[in-house]
């Protein structure tokens, strides 16, 4: 039987991608694309979650 882990581990991932959501422009830590982070959940280029 498969047992699902109950401890969420995505907290660390959020800390790694340090993007200022209030800035007019942000740079994706993965592909270095510059984009507007306001209202964006993902990098428009590589799709990395930044929200």
Question: Does 30 sit near Zn ion (CB under 5 A)?
Answer: yes
Q: Out of 19, 26, 37, 43, which residue is the one contacting Zn ion (CB under 5 A)? A: 43
Instruction: With beta carbons less than 8 A apart as the criterion, state whether 35 and 45 touch.
Output: yes
Q: What's the rounded Cα separation, in Å, for the pair 43 and 20? A: 13
Question: Does 28 sit near Zn ion (CB under 5 A)?
Answer: yes
6/35 with CB nearer Zn ion: 35
3/13 with CB nearer Zn ion: 13
DSSP of 31-47, one letter per residue? T--EE--TT-SB-TTT-
Interaction site with Zn ion (CB under 5 A): 28, 30-31, 33, 43, 45-46, 48
């Amino acid at each position: 039987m498969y047992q699902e882990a109950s401890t969420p581990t995505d907290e660390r991932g959020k800390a790694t991608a340090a993007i200022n959501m209030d800035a007019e422009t942000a740079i994706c830590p993965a592909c270095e694309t510059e984009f507007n982070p306001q209202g964006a959940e993902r990098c428009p280029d590589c799709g990395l979650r930044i929200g």
